[in-house]
Structure formats: structure tokens, C-alpha cells
């Protein structure tokens, strides 16, 4: 396997603890748990800068924020580094990116021209949205804004499956990056069947959630876990596609998150905090 295919899947704001393999007693993530059991599990993976744009810029360039210059959200990542896609391209890889980008800095809903795509070939992307059920994107060089049908992670995954199947028939290896918006808030917007799986009243909270924050933590965690389980099912579908395409033995599959979510531990919300819930990510 001198030139393995690379499938790099990542979610936004999914903390390490919100997985079965990470020890969470509430969340249902059977596909990720099975993946972790047969994978190299980086159990101490830490987000070098736990906020979306800096972490994504580091992923794409291999640089820390003090080198790539992105320290906060909605700032443009320059093109002076050799990006992930450019590096693989020199090795004969075709590259694809699907989903949330969030390193362009020219408006969250604006078209991103090819010269600002860090070398990716296949392109079905929006800079940023968290309206998962009315989620726009641009395809290729077409400047027409389109909308993903239903909960956006589902059709984004279908497109990734189509890309994998198509590329499996090629003689060249491929790099695919699939970037989902959930489980980032708003927490209550996962498909109903997943929301019904979690009763806020029965959840076990981290001991560092203050009593006065328990009610809101329970409500938000129930929605957060619903997003996680929805994505876990999509992980299972992706892995099935890899198997059915006959490329499992020549493909490296990576799951990662840019940062975590405090969810009222330490009396804090979201990310950008030097606590375990914010910085510890699955990888």
C-alpha cells in the first residue's frame, strides 16, 4: 500500500468524552466504537487551538496558528503554505472536499473561487452555516447557491459515498475530506428519530457541572448526543461503502474533530477554554 487512499472525516465541536470509546455512559456511537477498537486510537489528541478556523487552518497547512496567522474565526487563511491537497496532488492524488470549509474569511455564505480552495479538485462546499436543515453549498465552479436536502450531513455523506465509489474505479489514489457541521449548536436540530433517543432527565452529567446549570446542561446534552448518534450512523454507512468498493485494504480512514464543547462543565459553554471538554478531541 504505497499510495493509500485517504478518507478524512471530521465533525465540528465533538468532544472526545461524547463517544462510547471515550467513556460516555449516555451517548450511542456503536460505529465509532467499533472503528476505535480496530484502529490506532490517539486517546490523548488535543486541539492545538480549540476554535473552528484556527484548527481547520492547522489541519490544511500542517502549521500552528503562530505560523498560519489564523487565531479567531472568520479570518482568511492565506495560500503561502503547501496545503494538504497540494501535497497529495504532487503524489498523483485526486482530492475532494465536501461540507463546511470555514477558512476563507470572505463571508460565510459567499462563493469561494478555485484559487482560494487550497488545491482541492472536487468541491461541494459552503464557508459556514449551522442551519443544518436549510444548508447551502456551491458545487465546482458553478457560482449558483444550492441547498442540501434535509439534514445536511446526510446528503453530504451520500455525495462522499458517490465520490468514493467513483474514485475506487480510477487508477489514481484519492484524498477525500468530509466536514460536517454538527454536533455544534444549535443542539435541538438533529433528525427527530435521534432526538427521541435521549431523555434529558436520565442523562449522567460530568461531576464538574454546577447544580444550577444541570437543567440547561441536560437539555443541551440531549440534543448534542442526538447529533452525535446521527453522525455515527453516517460513519457506518461510509465504512460500508469503502468495503463494498473493494478498497478497504488500501484506504486509511481517519475520524477527527476540530475541538470539543464545554456544555456547562466548569460553568463554561462552547469552546476556546483550556479545559478537557474543550480541547480533548477524538482522533
**Is the Cα torsion angle 9, 253, 239, 15 positive or negative in sign?**
negative
Q: What DSSP line would sit under 164-233, residue for residue?
A: HHHHHTSSS-EEEEEEEEEESSPGGGS-HHHHTT--GGGPPPPTTB-GGGHHHHHHHHHHHHHHHHHHHH
Q: Distance between CA atoms of 12 and 182, rounded to whole angstroms?
A: 6
Do 107 and 101 contact (CB within 8 A), yes or no? no
Give me the residue label for grid cell 459553554: 269
Catalytic residue chosen out of the listed positions 31, 49, 52, 94: 52
283 counts as catalytic: no
Catalytic residue among 68, 102, 122, 264: 102
Q: Which three cell numbers stand for residue 243?
A: 468495503
Residue 52: closest CA among 81, 4, 13:
13
Q: Is 102 a catalytic residue?
A: yes
Residues annotated as part of the active site: 52, 102
Amino acid at each position: 500500500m504505497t499510495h493509500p487512499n485517504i478518507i478524512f472525516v471530521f465533525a465540528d465541536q465533538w468532544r472526545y468524552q461524547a463517544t462510547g470509546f471515550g467513556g460516555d455512559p449516555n451517548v450511542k456511537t456503536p460505529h465509532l466504537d467499533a472503528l476505535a477498537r480496530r484502529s490506532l486510537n490517539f486517546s490523548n489528541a488535543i486541539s492545538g487551538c480549540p476554535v473552528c478556523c484556527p484548527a481547520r487552518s492547522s489541519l490544511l497547512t500542517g502549521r500552528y496558528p503562530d505560523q498560519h496567522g489564523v487565531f479567531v474565526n472568520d479570518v482568511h487563511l492565506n495560500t503561502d503554505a503547501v496545503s494538504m491537497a497540494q501535497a497529495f496532488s504532487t503524489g498523483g492524488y485526486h482530492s475532494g472536499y465536501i461540507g463546511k470549509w470555514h477558512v476563507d474569511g470572505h463571508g460565510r455564505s459567499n462563493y469561494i473561487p478555485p484559487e482560494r480552495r487550497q488545491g482541492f479538485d472536487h468541491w461541494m462546499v459552503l464557508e459556514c452555516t449551522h442551519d443544518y436543515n436549510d444548508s447551502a453549498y456551491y458545487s465546482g465552479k458553478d457560482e449558483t447557491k444550492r441547498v442540501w436536502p434535509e439534514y445536511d450531513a446526510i446528503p453530504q455523506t451520500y455525495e462522499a459515498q458517490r465520490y468514493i465509489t467513483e474514485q475506487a474505479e480510477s487508477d489514481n489514489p484519492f484524498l477525500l475530506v468530509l466536514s460536517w457541521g454538527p454536533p455544534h449548536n444549535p443542539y435541538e436540530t438533529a433528525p427527530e428519530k435521534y432526538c427521541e433517543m435521549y431523555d434529558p432527565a436520565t442523562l449522567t452529567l460530568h461531576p464538574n457541572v454546577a447544580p444550577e446549570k444541570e437543567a440547561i446542561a441536560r437539555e443541551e446534552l440531549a440534543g448534542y448526543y442526538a447529533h452525535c448518534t446521527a453522525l455515527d450512523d453516517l460513519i457506518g454507512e461510509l465504512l460500508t461503502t469503502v468495503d463494498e468498493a473493494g478498497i478497504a485494504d488500501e484506504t486509511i480512514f481517519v475520524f477527527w474533530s476540530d475541538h470539543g464543547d464545554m456544555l456547562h462543565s466548569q460553568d463554561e459553554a462552547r469552546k476556546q477554554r483550556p479545559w478537557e471538554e474543550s480541547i480533548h478531541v477524538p482522533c
